[in-house]
Structure 1
Amino acid sequence: MPLIQWDETMAVGMEELDEQHMELIDLINEVYEAIQRHDEPMMSRILEKTRNYSDAHFETEEAILRSYGYPKTEEHGEQHRTFTAKLDEFKRNMHTTANLSQVFIFLSRWLSNHIMNEDREFIPWLPETNDEGA
């Protein structure tokens, strides 16, 4: 059973972004499973997969934000770059100093906070959620 469950309170109202957020949650659940099994090789593969997928997602999200004129697109992008830098650090240090639980805690907290707080700020700029022409 997955540890983190997607629910509609996480939705930003744009299908493409919501589906990508669901995939990121699935990847974090895979990280949790690898930790439960103490499977470092699996963890390494999942971190790489998460890094690649998050790159594609962040690129898509930032392009959408730019196209709809979201004024904090660059600031939002900086948060994305901080996340990927931390993923790279975990991957580099996984066999030396990284604690697998720390990896999961970081990923789950960051993603939950980012989707539930930071991503909610751009909802008024998206066409599916902008009913009143904000």
Structure 2
Amino acid sequence: MLRDWSDIYLIGIAEIDRQHQGFFTAAHRLYEDILDRDGKSAVVEAMAFMREYAEQHFQTEEAFMRQHHYPSLQEHLRLHAGFFRRLDELENDLMIFGPSQALADRALDITQDWLIDHIADEDMLYSLHFRAGAVS
């Protein structure tokens, strides 16, 4: 089920919150393009956009974590790498099998559901670390 952005996903870091909202939009676009099945080119374009958006977003997060000496940075980097491995698998299946409902469902899981879990758990941790340091 597609979920819309909600303020419950805010972590309190304006630039990253803005990017998270954009990530939700990109996840919706990818899901809808796969379901529309207007041909592989639209889906390939949506997946490329998702990859580019994730790369940009993860770079922003990782720079922020380095700047604020986040102690769990290496673990967070592994989570980001895991996201890209799952995206690679999705792209591979798209090239082999083409767009389908099953692929759309996997795209939703890989992008939106992963993002929600990631924001609620991992991103909130570095936000709390940042805010604790800002208060000190």
TM-score by length of 2: 0.85
Matching residue of 2:15 = 16
Structure 1 residue 121: Cα displacement? 1.0
| Runs (5+) with no aligned partner, structure 2 | none
Percent of pairs identical after alignment? Answer: 27
How does 1:106-117 map onto structure 2 within 5 Å?
Answer: 106-117=110-121
Task: Name stretches of at least 5 consecutive residues in structure 1 with no aligned partner.
Answer: none
Residue 108 of structure 2 is matched in structure 1 by: 104
2:5 match: secondary structure:
coil
**What does residue 77 of structure 1 align with?**
77
Amino acid at match of 2:43: M
**C-alpha contact 1:28 1:104 (8 A) present in aligned 2:** yes
Alignment root-mean-square deviation, CA: 2.0
Q: Is the 8 A contact 2:30 2:50 kept in 1?
A: no
Task: Call closer, same or farther: CA 1:13–1:130 in 2, change over 3 Å.
Answer: farther
Q: Could you say which structure has the greater relative contact order, defined with CA pairs below 8 angstroms and 6 or more residues apart?
A: 2
Cα offset for 1:31?
Answer: 1.3
Greater helix share, structure number: 2
Greater CA deviation, 100-109 or 62-71? Answer: 100-109
Partner secondary structure for residue 94 of structure 1: helix
Paired AA for residue 118 in structure 2: H
Aligned residues: 131
Aligned pairs for 1:1-134 (under 5 A) are 3-39=2-38, 40-97=40-97, 99-127=103-131, 132-133=135-136
- TM-score relative to the length of structure 1: 0.86
Q: What are the superposed Cα offsets for residues 54-85 of structure 1, whole Å, 9 maximum, x if unpaired?
A: 11111110110111111001100110011012
Which digits, 9 at most, give the CA deviation of each residue in 1:62-116, with x for residues without a partner? Answer: 1101111110011001100110121122112213247232222222211111111
Shift of 1:130: 5.7
